[in-house]
């Protein structure tokens, strides 16, 4: 039986400034922690392949120390002998930064569309993949798919970082758009389609093969506050998918706090402290209001005041509804 670990959208480097102006808890370590949990578990459970569905980094221009830290991590796990396969995502603008560390024989990066072949015990596994198509993927994907060389024997996987018809995020389903791949054009030769890009974990069905999105390894916005985060473990044998198992990762809770009923009162700080005691001590708290606050009320939400009140183990953000003419504040 083959065991495949699939995860995606690690966004490493997110909220991890090299020279922070303030000594506050940063979310960046949460993303590194969950990424390492996936790798540690894969090694412990003798995974045969580890696949990453893109957005390894949180953006395309990454500080060199973050690149070095990420590639040191990949190199360290590649040393265990398990092939690690990665497609670049849209956050990397379809290209990973270059490094000599990526030349490890167990690191396989899709810099172009191609098919990679792996012999694992008595099984043959082909992984076809391509970097994220940033423009018009619905039009361009059929031609890209023709460049692959899947085999009639063994297990055929398709790895990518794209939206596909039917994938969902909170309040929206992707369908029939130039930026969305036509689900009916996926070649039935593939036994399984693995895709990153969509942060909500889900499995799509098209009558040909399962299409799995593991989602991101941590919550990146409050739209994801109710979504479990994790990765998939796939068992396969004799060229067939046997089962697909979702494993949940620890994710810091996100909580909304409505402040409109008491932010204008003289003892607002005391009431904020009381409300915060109701939340987990590592929570990510969003301050909200059902009405637009008056200037005097808004002036109380200065960063220095809130940092003094919030426990150092928490992070907070302020909904843009409170400051309708400015962007959200975060800490």
Q: What is the DSSP letter of 203?
A: E
Contact 63, 19 (CB under 8 A): no
Q: What is the pLDDT of residues 217-265, one digit of tens each?
A: 999 999 999 999 999 999 999 889 999 999 999 999 999 999 999 999 9
* Owner of token pair 């706090």: 257
Q: Rounded to an integer, what is the distance from CA 138 to the centroid of its chain?
A: 22
Q: Burial code of 130-160, b = ≥16 C-beta within 10 A, e = fewer?
A: bbbbeeebbeebeebbeebebeeebbbbbbb
User: Which of 229, 193, 167 has its CA nearest to residue 11?
Assistant: 229
- pTM over 0.85, yes/no: yes
Q: Quote the CATH superfamily of domain 2-248.
A: Metallo-dependent phosphatases (3.60.21.10)
Residue 88 to residue 93: CA distance in whole angstroms: 8
Pair type for strands 192-196 and 155-161:
parallel
Q: Where in the chain is the domain with CATH 3.60.21.10?
A: 2-248
Q: How far apart (Å, rounded) are the C-alpha atoms in residues 126 and 187?
A: 14
DSSP state of 259: -
**Residue 314 burial (10 A CB sphere; 0-12, 13-18, 19+):** buried
Phi and psi at 123, nearest 5°, equal: -110, 150
- For 136-195, the pLDDT digits (tens) are 999 999 999 999 999 988 999 999 999 999 999 999 999 999 999 999 999 999 999 999
Nearest to 256 by CA among 307, 190, 317: 317
**Read out DSSP for 260-279?**
TTTTTSTTHHHHHHHHHTTS
Residues pairing with 258 in the sheet: 288
Q: What is the pLDDT of residue 325?
A: 43
Q: pLDDT by residue (tens digit) across 27-67?
A: 999 999 999 999 999 999 999 999 999 999 999 999 999 99
Spatial contact of 3 and 46, defined as CB atoms under 8 Å apart: yes
The 3-state DSSP class for residue 287 equals strand
**CA-based nearest residue to 120, from 4, 39, 7, 233:** 4
- The predicted pLDDT at position 324 comes to 60
**How far is the C-alpha of 124 from the C-alpha of 101, rounded, in Å?**
27
Instruction: Give the Cα separation of 51 and 195 in Å (integer).
Output: 10
Output Rg (C-alpha) for the chain, integer angstroms. Answer: 22
pLDDT for 328: 43
HSE-up (13 A, CA, CB side) for residue 8: 28
Q: Which single residue is written with the structure tokens 């758009």?
A: 177
Q: In whole angstroms, how far apart are CA 184 and each of 71, 188, 206, 325? A: 36, 9, 7, 44
Q: Write the CA distances from 170 to 114, 221, 327, integer angstroms.
A: 33, 11, 21
Per-residue pLDDT tens over the stretch 70-89: 999 999 999 999 999 999 99
Checking if the pLDDT of 327 tops 80, the result is no
């Amino acid at each position: 039986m083959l065991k495949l670990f699939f995860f995606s959208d690690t966004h490493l480097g997110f909220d991890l400034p090299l020279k922070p102006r303030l000594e506050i808890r940063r979310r960046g370590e949460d993303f590194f922690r969950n990424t390492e949990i996936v790798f540690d578990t894969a090694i412990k459970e003798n995974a045969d392949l580890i696949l990453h569905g893109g957005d390894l980094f949180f953006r395309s221009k990454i500080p060199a120390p973050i690149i070095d830290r990420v590639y040191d991590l990949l190199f360290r796990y590649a040393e265990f002998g398990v092939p690690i396969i990665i497609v670049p995502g849209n956050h990397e603008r379809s290209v990973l930064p270059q490094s000599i560390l990526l030349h490890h024989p167990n690191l396989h990066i899709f810099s172009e569309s191609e098919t990679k072949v792996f012999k694992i015990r008595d099984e043959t596994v082909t992984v076809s993949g391509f970097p994220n198509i940033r423009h018009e993927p619905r039009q361009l994907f059929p031609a890209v798919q023709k460049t692959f060389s899947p085999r009639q024997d063994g297990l055929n996987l398709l790895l990518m970082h794209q939206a596909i018809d039917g994938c969902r995020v909170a309040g929206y389903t992707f369908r029939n758009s130039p930026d969305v791949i036509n689900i009916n054009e996926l070649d039935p030769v593939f036994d399984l389609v693995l895709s990153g890009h969509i942060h909500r974990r889900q499995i799509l069905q098209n009558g040909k093969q399962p299409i799995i999105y593991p989602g991101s390894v941590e919550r990146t916005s409050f739209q994801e506050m109710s979504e479990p985060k994790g990765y998939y473990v796939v068992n396969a044998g004799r060229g067939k998918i046997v089962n697909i198992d979702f494993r949940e990762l620890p994710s810091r809770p996100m909580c909304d706090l409505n402040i409109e009923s008491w932010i204008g009162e003289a003892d607002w700080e005391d009431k904020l402290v009381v409300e915060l005691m109701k939340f987990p001590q590592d929570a990510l708290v969003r301050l909200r209001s059902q009405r637009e606050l008056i200037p005097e009320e808004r002036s109380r939400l200065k960063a220095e005041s809130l940092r003094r009140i919030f426990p150092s183990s928490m992070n907070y953000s302020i909904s843009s509804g409170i400051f309708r003419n400015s962007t959200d504040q975060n800490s």
